[in-house]
Amino acid sequence: MSRIRFRAAALVATLALSACSGLKDALTAHVDTVARAGGQELTVQQLAKMMGDAKAPARKDVALAIANIWVNYQLLGEAAAHGDSMASQADIDEGMWAQVAQIKLKKLFAALQKASPAIDSASYQKHYDAGDMLAARHILIAAKKGVAKPAEMDAAKKQAESIAKQANAGNFAALAKKYSADPGSKDNGGDLGVFQKGQMVPEFQAGLLALKPGEISGPVQSDFGYHIIMRETWPEARDKFSKAFTAVAQQSAESTYSTNLEKSAKITLKPDAAKTVRSIAADLDTYRNDNTEVASATGVDMTAAKVAKWMAAYPPQTQIREKLQQLPDSVMGLFVKQLITNELMLKAADSAKVGLDSADKANLHQVFVSSVWNAYNGLGIVPASLADSGKTVSAREKIAGARVDKFMESLLANKAQFVDVAEPVSLALHKKFEARVMPAGIDRAVTAAQKAVAKTDSANAKNMPQSAVPAPGAPGAPAPAAPAPAAPPAAKKP
């Protein structure tokens, strides 16, 4: 509603105040509502009770998590009540956008690599010999600086010297398996694989670069102890080096491409971008429809809603939201710039007509629909069963809502297994049906839960049996003992 219309409505209501007792009701309606999903409402009292039943901490983040689970379940119930299989292409496009983006970017980079000049495999040995990338084996005799005692350091050095005298290309792997203290390479005969300069500690790298391919070092000391290093010959390293060098070259091409896109975009972060990103990370669902601009760039406007959408696409195991709440502002800026670069690369993919083939689409369809039906079954709201129980959509909505509420009770009482509504399904549901969580309602529910906990604690304290030992100062308690006299001052030495 526009401001003009709002003022007009307010004026009419004011003039009619004496004749309309419903104004107060209109202004105070839904003050006890925490969330709405479709035709269902979650009240402050319901959420407070849920938190109490679950014996969950009476905190805002806990209340918000429970409310969001309830919303997703109720939206799924809304879809089931409408007999919606959630299998349309529009649902899949909306929900699986991140997977679609990943496929497109993979194909875009494959096309870029194909168009790039081929790497001359004949030059691989030259790059290896020059140390552009390194391959080595080592044997570590552990003796950490600052931890090992001098005698232990001497013993470790002598052992390393003895092993170095025995080592040759033929027995190095066996010696590593027998003596090395490096759990990451010991079982592989000391093989460290292929790595770039700067990945190893400086002392190790300097010792390795001092060797020609095929040579074995004497003891090289680092903070970890003493290393005996073998720089592999080209025939020994050829296969793994060629694979690793090709991958790094391709990554470099991709990095150059994305860096050029970022530079040409002229990205400008808004002054409060870092604060906004932290807020989104703390309460992602609140920002899903927030068009506040976080950053601008040529061809892309990065809104809070887009940041939330990208953030939700990260796998849970990355803990991206938890990390973003703790990182400095500079990292927040880099994160937003990366999201803008992602958007620009997707635009480039679309311009290049990079799309999904039939196999890609079939796979995404199967994954999405399976997620929907797993959730339907888990919550007991399969559309067919609702159709048998209710003849109208309204009746089926009530049945589905009741089943969800009953499931939530069982879940929070640890009597039911958690049913996951996958992020793609949640996105599609929120696009199709109305849903909202009210921050004020969350706060009231937390306050109500805290009062309930305090009341329970007080009642429990009153019902506790009195101790047989009187508390100090209570009737029948012994009087406190008189303080002991102070000790005399020690005599001073002459």
Q: What are the tens digits of pLDDT across the range 267-294?
A: 999 999 999 999 999 988 889 889 999 9
SS3 46: helix
**Cα–Cα distance list, 398 to 39, 80, 159, 377, 381 (Å):** 8, 11, 77, 18, 11
**What pLDDT tens digit does each residue of the chain (494 aa) get?**
433 333 333 333 332 333 343 443 333 445 689 999 999 999 999 999 999 888 889 999 899 999 999 999 999 999 999 999 999 999 999 999 999 999 999 998 888 877 776 677 788 899 898 888 899 999 999 999 989 999 999 999 999 999 999 999 999 999 999 999 999 999 999 999 999 888 899 999 999 999 999 999 999 999 999 999 999 999 999 999 998 888 887 777 777 888 888 888 889 999 999 999 999 999 888 898 899 999 999 988 899 999 999 999 998 888 999 999 988 888 888 999 999 999 999 999 999 999 999 999 999 999 999 999 999 999 999 999 999 999 999 999 999 999 999 999 999 999 999 999 999 999 999 999 999 999 999 999 999 999 988 887 776 666 666 544 444 444 444 444 444 444 434 444 33
Largest Cα span, the chain: 106
Distances 291 to 93, 286, 301, 431 between C-alpha atoms, Å? 21, 12, 10, 15
Tokens representing residue 382 in the block: 């399969």
- Our measurement of the distance from residue 364's CA atom to the centroid of its chain's CA atoms, rounded to an integer in Å, reads 22
Which distant-in-sequence residues (6+ apart) come within 8 Å of 30 by Cβ? 41, 438
The residue whose two tokens read 């921050």 is: 439
| pTM confidence score | 0.65
What is the arrangement of strands in the sheet containing 40-43, beginning at the earlier edge strand? 40-43, 33-37, 435-437
Contact 343, 37 (CB under 8 A): no
Q: Which long-range contacts (CB under 8 A, 24 or more apart) does 450-455 make?
A: 450/58, 452/48, 452/52, 452/58, 453/52, 453/58
Rounded Cα distance between 89 and 102, Å, is 18
Strands, sheet with 293-297, edge to edge from the N-terminal-most edge strand: 268-269, 293-297, 300-303
* Structure-block tokens of residue 304: 């809070």
Q: What is the C-alpha end-to-end distance of the chain, expressed in Å? A: 93
Q: Do the beta carbons of residue 353 and residue 360 sit within 8 Å?
A: no
Sequence-ordered strand ranges (E) for 406-493: 435-437
Task: Name the DSSP letter for residue 433.
Answer: S
